[in-house]
Amino acid sequence: MAQPKVFKGVGIVHAQRLGVADAPLRDVGDVEQLKVAHRSNSTTWKQHRRPGGGNLARLDILDGADLSVQMQEWTPENQAMVLQGKVIDLPPETVTGEAIVLQPGGLSMTEFPGATSITLTKTSDSSDIPLTAVTVSAAGVSVPADSTEITAVTPATIAYTSTQATRIEPLIEAGAEYRLVFDGLNEADSGRPCIVEVFRWKAPPAEELALIDGENPGKLLSKGEILADPAKGSAESPFYRITWL
């Protein structure tokens, strides 16, 4: 008796930005969900030759094909993909005389992130402010609400060296399209290889970005549409293809 053919997929998902010269077909890391959904518009003809109703014929026309990807790894490239964003590398900067305002219970952000080798100076009399009077974080310096050193709004300047960082600028790459390849295995069939290639995929920005969620770990979910590739021949799917080994 032939074994039933069932499927439980695992594997590696690759994404390639289309329209960018030499863009790699990169590994997006661990993917929790990869789902294709088909939308169709149906026209039916009712039968009228006997009681009981029912349909005589049906015509189904594809409205579209959707692909959702839920990634678990917050790499800069994955964040940019789901946020229609751009990745920018920030080199270390040496800053002198940047104006800030210190006040109890408040954070003063620095222009560049990850300040180190900090010197704080009061604007009013050019006296030094001890670093013990503030708390340093990646975003800047903050003053404790019960500070005895800084008890009122205090204009100051800060000198520092910033830390090399990566920045994501969301919502500036609205036209981005991707080619996706699932290099997968069917765990339910002794690891039989399965390759799924999506030729053109375009997604709006992620519906949400869970920066704090007490119940669930943060994941990157992107829901987009598989668009037709006009270069495909009449005997080929213009949307995607599945290859079994």
Q: What is the mean pLDDT of residues 108-114?
A: 98
Number of domains, the chain: 2
Q: What is the mean pLDDT of residues 39-51?
A: 95
Structural domain ending residue among the three candidates 129, 163, 197: 163
Residue 1 belongs to some domain of the structure: no
Residue 50 belongs to some domain of the structure: no
- Non-local (6+) Cβ contacts of 239 within 8 A are 65, 198, 199, 226, 227, 228, 229
Q: What is the pLDDT of residue 175?
A: 87
Structural domain ending residue among the three candidates 140, 163, 186: 163
Q: What is the pLDDT of residue 137?
A: 98
Say if residue 15 is in the same domain as residue 136. no
Q: Which domain holds residue 122?
A: 98-163
| CA 184 – CA 119 distance, rounded (Å) | 54
Confidence of residue 66 (pLDDT cuts 50, 70, 90): very high
Say if residue 67 is in the same domain as residue 13. yes
Pick from 90, 85, 89, 88: which is nearest to 17 by CA? 85
Instruction: Assess contact for 78 and 28: CB atoms under 8 A.
Output: yes
Q: Is the dihedral of CA 104, 108, 113, 119 positive or negative?
A: negative
Segment 122-163, tens digit of pLDDT? 999 999 999 999 999 999 999 999 999 999 999 999 999 999
Whether 1 has a pLDDT exceeding 90, the answer reads: no
Q: What is the pLDDT of residue 94?
A: 98
Q: What is the pLDDT of residue 129?
A: 96
- Token pair listed for 241: 């293809």
Residue 4 belongs to some domain of the structure: no
